[in-house]
A = this chain, B = another copy of it.
C-alpha cells in the first residue's frame, strides 16, 4: 500500500455516540454511501428503519440510502478504505475486540479525543502499536466542535491531520459542506495530545467554578492551561507548530467554556463537594479527562515538563487531595 487515498475511497464510521453521529451526518452530505458499525441493537434498528439515532442527536434525519448501519464489524471494515474511529476511547479496545479482518490496507482516522486506558497511549499510538499500521496510514479529525452545533448546521471548523498533506485534503473534501470549513495539519503528535490535554484542563475549570471562583480567575486558569499545553508539546516533541490555532487553543476554549462539557461537569461536581467516586457515578457519559489525567501523569514522568494544572487535577482525582486546598495551592503557581 502506498498510503495514498483516492478520492473515491469509501468511509466507515465506528461508533454511534453524538460525535460519530454528527460526523456521519456531515459525511453523508458528500458521500453516496458510508458504512456504519453500530453495536447497540436499538440504535441499529432505528438507523435502518427511520434513519435516526434515537440516543444521540435524534434531531438528525439521515438519508437511508446513504448509510449502511451494521453490527458486523468485519463486514463494515472490509467494505471500507477509510475507517473512522469515533467510539469513546474507554471502549475502543472492546469495540475492536470482534475485528478479525486486517486493518493493514486501510487508512484509519481517529475522531476520538482521549487516551486508551491502562495502555497509557493515545489512540493513534495504540493503533500503530497493536494493528501494525504505519503513521502514514493514520490520521486525526478534530476541531473545536460541539456535536450538537454540527448537527444543527451551525458553522464549524474541522482540522484533518495526516503526515501526507495530500491525504488530508482528500479526506477533508469529504467533510467540506456549507457549514463545515476545513483546516489541515501534519502535526499528528501535537494535535492528538492537545485534544487529550484540553479535557484535563476542562476538569480543572469545572473544579474552579464549583469552588466559586469567578470569570477573572477562569481567564487566568485557561490562559495558563494554553501555556501548559504549549510547553508540554514543545518539550515532549519539538516541532514547528502554532498552538493558538483552532485545533489546539480553539478546542481548549470550546471545551473549557462550555457548560455542556462532560469534563467540566466532572470537575464541577467535585468542586461542589462530591467525592470523586460519587461524581463519576453521577456522570451518564464518560469524562475522558478522568483517564487523561492519569495517562498524562504517567507519560510526563519521562518528559518532566512543568504541568502544575494537570498535576493538580491528578492529585485530586487519584490521590485524595482535597480540591479546595489543591486549587488554592495552584493559584500561587499561575501567572
The listed residue (B155, B214, B245) touching A149 by CB distance below 8 A is B214
Contact digits for A229-273, partner B, Cβ 8 Å, 1 yes 0 no: 010000000000010111011110110011000000000000000
- With a CB–CB cut-off of 8 A, which chain B residues contact A35? none
The listed residue (B214, B230, B258) touching A215 by CB distance below 8 A is B258
Minimum CB–CB distance for A136 against chain B, Å: 24
Question: Which residues of A95-112 are within 8 A (CB) of B?
Answer: none
Q: Is the CB of A246 within 8 A of B230?
A: no
Copies of this chain, tallied across the complex:
2
User: Any chain B CB within 8 A of the CB of A13?
Assistant: no
User: Any chain B CB within 8 A of the CB of A318?
Assistant: no
Interface stretch, picked from A67-75, A76-84, A220-228, A309-317, is: A220-228
User: Any chain B CB within 8 A of the CB of A131?
Assistant: no
Q: Is the CB of A149 within 8 A of B246?
A: no
The listed residue (B213, B227, B242) touching A155 by CB distance below 8 A is B213
24 A-B residue pairs with Cβ-Cβ distance under 8 Å, sorted by A, are A143-B216, A144-B219, A144-B220, A145-B216, A146-B216, A155-B331, A156-B217, A157-B216, A157-B217, A157-B220, A215-B257, A216-B254, A218-B253, A219-B257, A220-B246, A223-B245, A223-B246, A223-B250, A224-B246, A244-B244, A245-B335, A246-B334, A253-B253, A257-B257
In the complex, the 7 A-B pairs of residues with the closest C-beta atoms, listed nearest first: A144-B219, A223-B250, A219-B254, A154-B214, A156-B216, A223-B249, A219-B250
Taking A219-B246, A223-B253 as given, write out 5 further A-B residue pairs in contact, using a Cβ cutoff of 8 Å, ordered by the A residue number: A146-B214, A150-B216, A155-B331, A157-B220, A246-B335
